[in-house]
Amino acid sequence: MPKIAKLGSILFAITAVTGLLLGAVQNITSGSIAAQRVRQKNDALAATLPGAKNFTPVALKTDAGIIAEIFSGSGGGKTLGYNFTLTPKGFGGLMTLVCGIDAEGRVTDIAILESSETPGLGARASEPAFAGQFHGRLADGDLQVTKTPPENGDQIQAISGATITSRAVTDAVNAARTYWKNHLKKEEAK
């Protein structure tokens, strides 16, 4: 018994020291990780709404769905559009992306902040070949995913082998477009 107690004490000491070290590392790095996420988000807001310099949070209506937050982007003393942070469910789990919509209701760009999609497949959703298909789309009607080249202006060509991810991103952009049309377009008309 004493040998087992001695080994148990040694194992307890090792795990206690390891736990303390991991806690210290987490405390040291958590601030810089949070700062990096804020920087990444600010960069995405600026990239998805060109010309906007200031971003002000907008209160969400009850029917926001996968929209996590909205920012009004302004520059030169006027509102240039809105940034939507969305959390659709992709193949690998929840994704976080930002969709910019200008004052006229056109999608300006999208940026994927977080994704656990399959490397080489769903992770390609941020590449211009896919993400660029949303640029300039007006908020009138839903976009549909197609596995073949688009035949009309309402279609987005899926990433080969990543249809679920393609649908998740398209559904998120559709949610932002619908919300803009139902709630924010009225604000722009004032």
pLDDT in tens, the chain (190 residues): 688 888 888 888 899 899 888 888 888 887 777 778 888 888 889 889 999 999 999 999 877 889 999 999 999 889 999 999 999 998 888 999 999 999 999 999 999 998 887 777 778 888 899 999 999 888 778 899 999 998 888 889 999 888 999 999 999 999 999 999 988 886 555 4
pLDDT digits (tens, 9 = 90+) for 86-120: 999 988 889 999 999 999 999 999 999 988 877 77
At 11 the three-state DSSP class reads helix
Question: pLDDT value at position 152?
Answer: 87
Q: Where are the domains of the chain?
A: 45-189
Long-range residue pairs from 132-136, CB within 8 A, at least 24 positions apart, any chain: 133/157, 134/99, 134/107, 134/109, 134/110, 134/173, 135/107, 135/108, 135/109, 136/106, 136/107
Hey, which residues does 57 pair with through a beta bridge?
Answer: 71
Strands annotated E in the chain: 54-58, 67-75, 78-86, 89-90, 93-94, 96-102, 107-114, 144-146, 155-157
Tell me if 93 sits within 8 A of 116, measured CB to CB. Answer: yes
Q: For the full predicted model, state whether its pTM sits above 0.75.
A: yes
